[in-house]
Homo-oligomer: A and B are copies of this chain.
Amino acid sequence: MSRKIRMGMVGGGRGAFIGGVHRIAAAIDQQIELVCGAFSSNPEKSRLSGEDFFLDPSRVYGSYEEMILQEKELPEDVRMDFISIVTPNHVHFGPAKLALENGFHVVCDKPVTFSVDEARILVDLVEKSGLIFALTHNYTGYPMVKQARDMIREGKIGKIRKVVVEYPQGWLATKKEDGDHKQAAWRVDPAKSGMGGAMGDIGTHAENLAEYITGLKITEVCADLTSFVEGRRLDDDANILLRMEKGVKGVLHCSQIAVGEENGLNIRIWGETGGLEWHQEEPNTLIVKQLEGPATHLRTNVGTLSPAAMAAARVPAGHPEGYLEAFANIYRNFAKCVQARLAGTEPDPLHTDFPTVHDGLRGMVFVEKVVANSKGTEKWTKL
């Protein structure tokens, strides 16, 4: 018999942004229950956060080490099944490693780690342990992103020729890190974010989206990274030429100084016989283009879509589903896989569709190569 799976959270205390998103995403489908947490390195703040979430105070911990080790000692029908890591980048590796070493599954925010080396260690640990590891490249959770991937798999636009993926944001156009904007502060700090600024935060989403939809790997990059805001140490803007497998050419650009842009991730793909276009801010539309004819605007839950696209939608056509629902699809699929594991069965293949530690490693390598190319003089750097 099935049951809700039990989540322990690392980070995400009062005032944090992404922690709240993860909690909602985990709650939406009612397959996951938050049972414990180490919400902050500040024990008092962790305690108060536990109250906010109506948790048993005995399961609100002062550190992730404490949480993992103490939960392990609880009876099997009580203890958490997995941890959700929602801390800044430099605090992903520690809890992920410890959880895997102690038999807990993991959901981790992206980028997976602070460095490529850390990512490789996690890949090893996941492979050795057989535990389930989900990385929240949440944009691949949208129904119409899955539809795009599936149409390409089925050859609906022919052999792919060109990809343009963009991710403009404007929220770091001024030196917000000098104020009390907590997220801005760590995002631009190389000691916490890693070697990529905008690249690590959103460039990896763009890279992941392009590879997810096309099914092709980026093979070479030629990059021009900039820190526009004076005194900023990490890139806040990136323009990159891409070469991908099978002769595909492309452009990836992302920015956090694009004044007035909200969260403008979008992708256009052109093949020999068709084209696809998707915009994250209007996520329920997928524009399909053809040779010598008009475009069709596919919409979430209108007509017949691919099984994965239909499984990813919850409400009828015209009832817009958004960011949280797409994010929740990762949690739902992850939960279904954990439930199958608990039940000793194979998961439905539709449920295995979520980003993993391998996507995490790939993103880390991408950032490393882009940064290296931008600093160097060679035109193309291989991945």
Contact = CB atoms under 8 A, between A and B. Distances in A.
B322 A320 contact: yes
A326 to B, nearest CB: 9
- A-B pairs with lowest CB-CB distance, top 9: A260-B289, A262-B318, A263-B318, A320-B322, A319-B323, A293-B303, A322-B322, A262-B317, A260-B275
A165 to B, nearest CB: 12
Interface residues of A, number: 89
Interface in A1-38: 1-4, 17, 20-21, 23-24, 27-30, 34
A8 to B, nearest CB: 15
A249 interface: yes
Interface in A253-281: 253, 255, 257-264, 268, 270-275, 280-281
Interface string A287-329: 0011111111111001100000000001111111111110000
A228 interface: yes
Contacts of A262: 299, 302, 316-319
Contact of A270 (B239, B259, B268, B319): B259
A282 interface: yes
B259 A249 contact: no
A162 interface: yes
> How many protomers of this protein does the assembly include?
4
A316 B228 CA distance: 23
A81 interface: no
A303 to B, nearest CB: 4
Interface string A28-51: 111000100000000000000001
A150 interface: no
Contacts of A257: 161-162, 270
A259 B290 contact: yes
Interface stretch (A65-73, A126-134, A168-176, A206-214): A168-176
A219 interface: no
A224 interface: yes
A346 B169 CA distance: 40
A173 B253 CA distance: 24
Interface string A53-78: 11000000000000000000000000
Contacts of A222: 222, 224, 241, 379
A196 B34 CA distance: 43
B274 A259 contact: yes
A303 B295 contact: no
